[in-house]
Structure formats: structure tokens, C-alpha cells
Amino acid sequence: MSIGSVETQFFYLNEPFLLDSGESFETLTLAYETYGTLNQDATNAILVFHALTGSQHAAGINQSVPGIDPLWTDECVLGWWDTFIGPGKALDTQRYFVICVNYLGGCYGSTGPRSTNPLTGKPYGSQFPQVSAWDVIRSQLRLLDHLGIQCLHAVIGGSMGGMLSILLATRCPERVQNVLPIATGLETTVLHRVHNFEQILAIRNDPKFQGGDYYEQAPPKDGLLLARIISHKTFVSLAIMEKRAKQEIRIKQPIGPFYELSNPIESYMFYQGKKFAERFDANSYLRIMDMWQRFSLNAQQPELFKDCAHQQYLIFSVDSDVCFYPEEQKVIVKALEAAQIDVTHITVHSDKGHDSFLLEPDLYAPYIHFVLG
């Protein structure tokens, strides 16, 4: 059962917001959506952190978001976690008040590089400041304050969203009861940095990137397309990639003066990249990628979980994941056990790789229901 039509809401912070970099915003905007009803004592809220290229639209149908065109494509209309959020689903909106926020630096309504710089009257572009993971957390805490939520019943996220879940739970333990990180880790690995670096170069070497100031011209879609192809290799298993690649060329067009798509795998990967390049902003991709490149909680062990004795953790691994390998979740579990924190570790058996947490709710829902109570 779907929750039906929803609309994005906007939180306006009309006071200076200081960033970790030392720069600041005079004002900022966060785009968010909520599902379900907040109870009288505001104790049933669940905060969902989206993945790298997700949005605030996690569930239901949202046909458009003001000011986002042309990025709000058909692919964005259905919530990215619609099979997980709703009546009777893993995050049951008959019991919980579920919140999802577009990250600071994103491109779906929160203050980001596409936003107007009040000092110039033009998009920030290359002038948009560096944003840290802690900046993202602090901005969302301001929204929670605005909503009257002092302590979350749970925080949950997959991939980069899982990293942010752990960061919030450990930096502000008094504000979180249950923590559910999925297919994630405590730090950016060497392999992540290599893949991310390839994507950064793909975008920055697109002639249309113009150093990040391209908003009055054609955007750097070729670079963004290539970046998505690079990343997509880590999202799905090779077996699933082969299954998804139809036995015909989906896109028959040259991709350069000397090359034409010639087999289903090439067509599938090119199609994935092309779709993505229509719905995302290159500058936002680079800013969020930079946040990921600099993320690390590993250095804080063994003190990382020292104030988290009251919390309960449910850690998910996916046995076929080659983006965040299961060994990375074992590091989290080991640290929690060393700190004597209540932790349950579930390894999901799936052939869908990293994308499993987006596609297979039945493999996760029973455990989520049990932990949330």
C-alpha cells in the first residue's frame, strides 16, 4: 500500500550557519518530506539519510518540486524507498513519523551550488563552499529542532546515508535511540577514493564544466554520464548487470567520432549514465563526493561509541556488495561489541549487490520491525 501523493516542504534557516571550513551561509534552505504523524510527545520520529545521489523524496508520488526543473525527471516521481516506507512496511507510517531531508549541497531544493548566491544574484557554482558530513548533520538537527523533535526513535540510512547515521548517533548520542546503518562503513576506503577520484576527473575534464560556472550554458552531462558509469559498476553484481542488459542495443547512437555502442552491456551502462545525467547536478555531485572523500570515524575508536550505551544498533551487510564490502560492517560490529553496545548484525544474501537495500524490502523488514519494537 502506497502513501499516495506527497509534497516537498522547505525549512528556512534565516540566520547565519557556520560551516566546518570557516565559511558560512547567511541563510539556508533544506528541502524535506515527512510521512506519518508525529505523536504528542514527539518520540516516534525516524530520520532517513539518503544515499549519495538520492533526494528528500523517499516515498509516495511527487510529480514536481518548485525550482528543481529540469532535474526532476520521471525517474524522480516515485520515492526512492517507496517499498520500505508506508503503512505496514518496514518503516510503518501508521506508527512512525518518517523524515527525509535533501543534503546541504544537494540539488533537489536544499541550498546547493544551483542556488542563488545572495551576494551576486547568480548561482553559487564554483563559489559554493566545501560542506562536511558534520555540516549536513548540524543542518538537519536545526530542522529537527524546528519540528520539536529532541530525540529520534531511530536513524537509518544505506551507503553514505549509513555513514551519516553513525555520525549523528555518536556525535549527538542523546538525540538517537536506535541506529540502523545499511551496507556502509566507518570510513572512506582506498577503493572508494580511487573510484571517486575517477568520477571527479570525468566531470572536471568535461569542457562544458567551465570550472563549475556552467549554469548559463549547457551543463556537463557527458562528464556526469561517465561518472555514473564508473560508480554503477559497484552498485550491482556482474550477474545482475548481465541480466538487466537486454539482448538488444537500447541506445543506437555514436558516442564519439570513432565509436558506436556495440553490445547490450555497453548499451545498459550508457543508458544508466544518460538517465542520471538528466536528473543530477554536476557541482552537487562533486560537493557530496568531496564530503565522502574526507569522511572517517575510524580514527576515533575505541572512544567512538563511549556515550552510546543506551542505543541499539542493527547493522546490515549484503554478501554480494562490492561498494561497501561486508568486512566494513564487521569493523563497525567489532567496535560496538568492544564498547558493550547492543548490536545485531544481519548479512543479507542477495545477488543484487549494493542496490539490494533499495530493491528487496522483504529481506530487511522483519529485522527492522523487531528492532524498532
Report how far apart, in Å, the C-alpha atoms of 184 and of each of 265, 267, 328 are: 27, 29, 7
139's grid cell: 543542518
Verify whether residue 354 is a known catalytic residue: yes
Please write the tens of the pLDDT for every residue from 25-74. 999 999 999 999 999 999 999 999 999 999 999 999 999 999 999 999 99
Please write the tens of the pLDDT for every residue from 98-130. 999 999 999 999 999 999 999 999 999 999 999
What pLDDT shows up at residue 298?
76
What pLDDT shows up at residue 302?
72
Please write the tens of the pLDDT for every residue from 281-300. 999 999 999 999 999 997 66
Report which of 295, 15, 281 is spatially closest to residue 137, judged by C-alpha positions: 295
* pTM across the whole model: 0.95
**58, 96 Cβ separation under 8 angstroms:** no
* Backbone φ, ψ for residue 167 (5° rounding): -60, -45
* Cα Rg of the chain, angstroms: 20
Domains and CATH numbers, the chain: 9-188+296-372 (3.40.50.1820), 191-291 (1.10.1740.110)
What pLDDT shows up at residue 261?
74
pLDDT band at residue 268 under the 50/70/90 scheme: confident
| Catalytic residue, candidates 139, 321, 350, 356 | 321
* Peptide bond between residue 302 and the one before it cis (omega within 30 degrees of 0): yes
Q: What DSSP string describes 113-155?
A: TTSEETTTTEE-GGGPPP--HHHHHHHHHHHHHHHT-SSEEEE
Verify whether residue 50 is a known catalytic residue: no
31's grid cell: 528541502
| Catalytic residue, candidates 55, 159, 165, 350 | 159
| Catalytic residue, candidates 50, 153, 192, 354 | 354
Please write the tens of the pLDDT for every residue from 210-257. 999 999 999 999 999 999 999 998 998 777 777 877 655 565 665 665
Indicate whether 186 pLDDT > 60: yes
228 is in an annotated binding site: yes
What pLDDT shows up at residue 250?
60
Mean pLDDT of the chain: 94
Verify whether residue 146 is a known catalytic residue: no
Percentage helix, strand, coil for the chain under 3-state DSSP, each rounded to 5 = 35, 20, 45
Report which of 282, 246, 281, 285 is spatially closest to residue 266, judged by C-alpha positions: 246
* Peptide bond between residue 70 and the one before it cis (omega within 30 degrees of 0): yes
39 three-class SS: coil
Please write the tens of the pLDDT for every residue from 132-182. 999 999 999 999 999 999 999 999 999 999 999 999 999 999 999 999 999
Gap between the Cα atoms of 223 and 28, Å rounded: 28
Indicate whether 94 pLDDT > 70: yes
pLDDT band at residue 260 under the 50/70/90 scheme: confident
